[in-house]
Chain A
């Protein structure tokens, strides 16, 4: 399991302008819903946007510290 703050920090390290909202869906720290808003997504496809976030969380995903990650990405309105 990971702390929501740890996930938020890892994403912000990769995408400094990002506004990140992490919700722990089960309280167990391994089923997370993450919403990321960043100008860095501009001009990228949805697949590419998700890849950018996945790359930031590579370690947590590879170790299966995060079992399930529901992800939503957007550019600032």
Chain B
């Protein structure tokens, strides 16, 4: 992967404890899976930042290579890849996500 692209992605991920690569914006998600993640974050009332991959083809492909993950959305917590929509839903339903975010945001 291009070093400059990698650096850009790392910069985005580091810009907020919870960072979401998604299609569309928080206010106007452009895909049902991205919307799932936004709704979960709203339900948990946690602050998060997003990047619209539809606005940038380089990041859209780059984040897939970076995370070794072929789909969008992608959620990062304190620099660690947490998963996509399915994993987030599973963790939300089990209560694991609430706990994990509370701990991460407190530190």
**Interface of A toward B, CB cutoff 8 Å:** 46-47, 50-51, 54, 58, 61-62, 68-72
Contact = CB atoms under 8 A, between A and B. Distances in A.
B65 to A, nearest CB: 11
Interface of A is mostly: helix
A47 B91 CA distance: 12
Would you call the interface of chain B mostly helix, strand, loop, or mixed? mixed
B2 interface: no
Interface of B: 32-33, 68-71, 81-87, 90
Tell me which of A47, A54, A61, A71 has the highest count of chain B C-beta atoms within 10 A of its own C-beta.
Answer: A47
Given A54-B70, A61-B71, A69-B71, 14 more contacts: A46-B83, A46-B87, A46-B90, A47-B81, A47-B82, A47-B83, A50-B69, A50-B84, A50-B86, A50-B87, A51-B69, A58-B70, A62-B70, A68-B32
Contacts of A68: 32-33
